[in-house]
């Protein structure tokens, strides 16, 4: 046994030399990520800065605008918004947007750098100082790695010239502001997500290489933790006292602190490494949280039929309460019926029927969603339904931004499918299966400590995660010190 422990100790020591700094980075950046994420142009800010729709300026119906777009097929999405003070229809076809102005039917040509400057100037009129376009990018930079460039086209980067060094990225294909960064968000983005996920642009754009480094690096880290836990448990003894009967560990100095820190925080380190590996969905492992395309099609249809919107946008806007400004319209279908999904300045969503006398409604009823749920999986019996006004263990959000109420429907199919349908617009928000539900606990439960009661506790969750990360950081720092002394020898 002693010979085996000696061999494990040697392996653990030299693996630790390689990984100790990586562990320090993971734990330190994990603390940052409790409070900071990647820079973004959030949905609430985007909506707040968007100019309200003016019914008097909308001269084309959706069908007429679609004719001007000359797409040749039904778009998967139609949206009505504003751009440079004018109404603009946006049609999504095969991951590409085609935009048509709603006042004269003119096609939107690719946005120039000067036009991008004007768009940002309108949205950030109060903050702008010495605005200028600093570059136009056609390939991802550090902050746009996940940006779908075939959809957005080249991005014009506009600097506001303000004290915060704010930069806005404007999509040339649509004229929309796609991203906002400033000095603080860039710093914390590096210190948190970039360091934690090894999201360095030269590495991240090589997707398979980056994924394999994370997966197999985490796997080796798991082995390192298990070796350390085995050695630490074997060496620790309450019966045998070392160093004149005052210590339960045979080690002294920094090795002693490493031993104790490993015994206390080694298990949580292992679970974080293991669950972090699962976040990459290796070897086909996934949570399967996205609905199947045929389930969405059964409720929404195969495309948005603009000809079915007999009610014009002007008529739909007119039925909204006086003084309520509408920022955006989405044309949606629900069980073969067309609706305008209206997004107000307050962020609230309202629906207006588009094929009959327009009337404002806040969403769909439980009975209507149940009909949709039967249509989504027509060959499978429904076992149970629940009208959720609070989050459950699978459909949740610590920031409380995901919509409620939702209808949760459990099916008697072979996959044990659950669907969550939103009352506000009938969308299928989430799909859970018997395969995916355990992965949720192994990944989100172990990695983010998203356990019911804790993830809803706000500051208690923060304190718990930061404390455990600090313990892991202590364990890692002792590894660095011990490793450095070993290298010096």
For the beta carbon of residue 329, count every other beta carbon within 10 angstroms. 24
Q: Is residue 387 part of a domain?
A: yes
* Token representation of residue 114: 């000067």
Which pair of structure tokens corresponds to residue 483?
A: 């490793």
In a domain, 215, yes or no: yes
* Whether residue 427 is found in the same domain as residue 464: no
Residues 238 and 281 in one domain: yes
Per-residue pLDDT of the chain (489 residues; tens, 9 = 90+): 778 888 888 889 888 888 999 999 999 999 999 999 999 999 999 999 999 999 999 999 999 999 999 887 789 999 999 999 999 999 999 888 999 999 999 999 999 999 999 999 999 988 888 899 999 999 999 999 999 998 999 999 999 999 999 999 999 999 999 999 999 999 999 999 999 999 999 999 999 999 999 999 999 999 999 999 999 898 887 666 666 566 788 888 899 999 999 999 999 999 999 999 999 999 888 877 889 999 999 999 989 999 999 999 999 998 875 546 899 999 999 998 999 999 987 778 999 999 888 888 999 999 999 999 999 999 999 999 999 999 999 999 988 889 999 999 999 999 999 999 999 999 999 999 999 999 999 999 999 999 988 988 889 999 999 999 999 999 999 999 988 888 887
Is residue 400 situated within a structural domain? yes
Q: What is the dihedral of CA 353, 359, 365, 370, to 10 degrees?
A: -20
- Among residues 137, 220, 128, the alpha carbon closest in space to that of 165 is found at 128
Same domain, 420 and 483: no
42 found inside a domain: no
Determine what percent of the chain falls in helix, strand and coil, rounding each to the nearest 5: 45, 20, 40
In a domain, 59, yes or no: no
Half-sphere exposure of 137 (CA within 13 A, CB side): 19
Yes or no: say if 117 and 131 are a contact pair by the CB < 8 Å rule.
yes
Final residue of a structural domain among 418, 434, 450:
434
Joined tokens for residue 134? 């600093």
pLDDT, position 223: 95
Q: Using the structure block, give the residue that is written with the tokens 């009909």.
A: 371
For 73-86, letters b (16+ CB in 10 Å) and e give ebbbebbbbbbeeb
**Cross-strand pairs, 79:** 90, 330
| Sequential DSSP letters for 172-205 | TTT--EEEEE-HHHHHHHIIIIIHHHT--HHHHT
d(CA 369, CA 204) in angstroms, rounded, equals 41
- pTM for the whole structure: 0.91
Terminal-residue alpha carbon distance, the chain: 28
For residue 430, being part of any structural domain is answered with: yes
Contact by Cβ (8 Å): 320, 360: yes
The C-alpha angle 247, 253, 258, rounded to 5 degrees, equals 85
Do residues 422 and 463 both lie within one domain?
no
Identify whether 22 is part of a domain: yes
Q: Encoding tokens for residue 280?
A: 């990459």
The rounded distance, in Å, linking the Cα atoms of 325 and 317 is: 9
Torsions phi, psi for 337 (to 5 deg): -110, 135
Contacts of 311 (CB under 8 A, 6+ apart): 340, 352, 353, 354, 355, 356, 358
The range of the structural domain enclosing residue 275 comes to: 2-35+205-285+459-488
**267: part of which helix (H) or strand (E)?**
helix 254-278
Question: Does residue 243 sit within a domain?
Answer: yes
Query: What single string gives the DSSP state of each residue in 152-179?
Result: H-SEEEEE--STT--EEEEETTT--EEE
Claim to verify: residue 213 and residue 252 sit in the same structural domain: yes
CA 398 vs. chain centroid, Å, equals 13
One domain for residues 221 and 272: yes
Take residue 434 and report the two structure tokens written for it: 């018997």
Q: Verify that 428 and 466 share a domain, yes or no.
A: no
Give how far Cα 458 sits from Cα of 343, 351, 406, 452, 464, Å.
28, 32, 23, 12, 10
Decide the pairing of beta strands 382-388 and 406-411. antiparallel
Same-domain status, 426 and 465: no
What's the structural domain count of the chain? 2
């Amino acid at each position: 046994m002693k010979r085996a422990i000696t061999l494990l100790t040697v392996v653990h020591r030299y693996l630790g030399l390689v990984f100790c700094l990586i562990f320090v980075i993971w734990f330190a950046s994990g603390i940052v990520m409790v409070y900071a994420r990647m820079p973004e142009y959030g949905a609430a800010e985007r909506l707040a800065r968007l100019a309200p729709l003016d019914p008097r300026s909308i001269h084309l119906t959706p069908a007429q605008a679609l004719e001007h777009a000359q797409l040749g097929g039904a778009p998967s999405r139609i949206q009505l918004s504003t751009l440079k003070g004018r109404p603009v229809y946006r049609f999504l076809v095969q991951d590409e947007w085609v935009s048509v102005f709603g006042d004269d039917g003119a096609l939107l040509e690719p946005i120039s750098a000067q036009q991008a400057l004007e768009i940002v100037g309108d949205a950030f009129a109060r903050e702008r100082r010495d605005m200028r376009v600093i570059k136009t990018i056609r390939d991802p930079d550090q902050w746009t790695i996940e940006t779908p460039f075939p959809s957005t086209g080249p991005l014009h980067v506009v600097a506001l010239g303000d004290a915060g060094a704010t930069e806005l990225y404007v999509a040339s294909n649509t004229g929309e502001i796609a991203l906002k960064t400033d000095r603080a968000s860039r710093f914390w983005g590096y210190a948190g997500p970039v360091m934690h996920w090894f999201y360095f642009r030269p590495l991240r754009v090589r997707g398979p290489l980056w994924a394999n480094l994370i997966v197999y690096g985490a796997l080796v880290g798991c082995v390192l933790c298990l070796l350390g836990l085995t050695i630490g448990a074997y060496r620790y003894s309450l019966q045998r006292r070392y160093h004149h009967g005052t210590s339960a560990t045979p080690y002294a100095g920094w090795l002693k602190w490493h031993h104790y820190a490993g015994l206390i925080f080694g298990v949580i380190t292992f679970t974080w490494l293991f669950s972090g590996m699962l976040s990459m969905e290796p070897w086909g492992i996934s949570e399967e949280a996205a609905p199947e395309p045929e389930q969405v099609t059964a409720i929404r249809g195969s495309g948005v039929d603009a000809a079915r919107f007999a009610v014009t946008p002007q008529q739909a806007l007119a039925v909204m309460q006086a003084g309520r400004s509408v920022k955006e319209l989405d044309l949606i279908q629900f069980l073969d019926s067309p609706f305008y999904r209206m997004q107000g300045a307050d962020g609230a969503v309202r629906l207006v029927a588009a094929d009959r006398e327009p009337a404002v409604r806040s969403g769909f009823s439980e009975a209507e969603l149940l009909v949709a749920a039967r249509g989504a999986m027509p060959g499978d019996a429904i076992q149970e339904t629940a009208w959720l006004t609070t989050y459950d263990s699978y459909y949740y959000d610590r920031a409380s931004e995901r919509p409620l109420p939702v209808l949760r429907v459990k099916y008697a199919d072979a996959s044990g499918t659950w669907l969550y349908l939103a009352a506000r617009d009938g969308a299928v928000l989430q799909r859970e299966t018997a395969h995916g539900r355990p992965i949720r606990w192994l990944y989100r439960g172990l990695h983010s400590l998203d356990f019911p009661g804790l993830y809803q506790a706000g500051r208690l969750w923060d304190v718990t995660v930061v404390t455990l990360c600090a313990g892991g950081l202590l364990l890692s720092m002792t590894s660095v010190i011990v490793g450095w002394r070993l290298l010096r020898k």
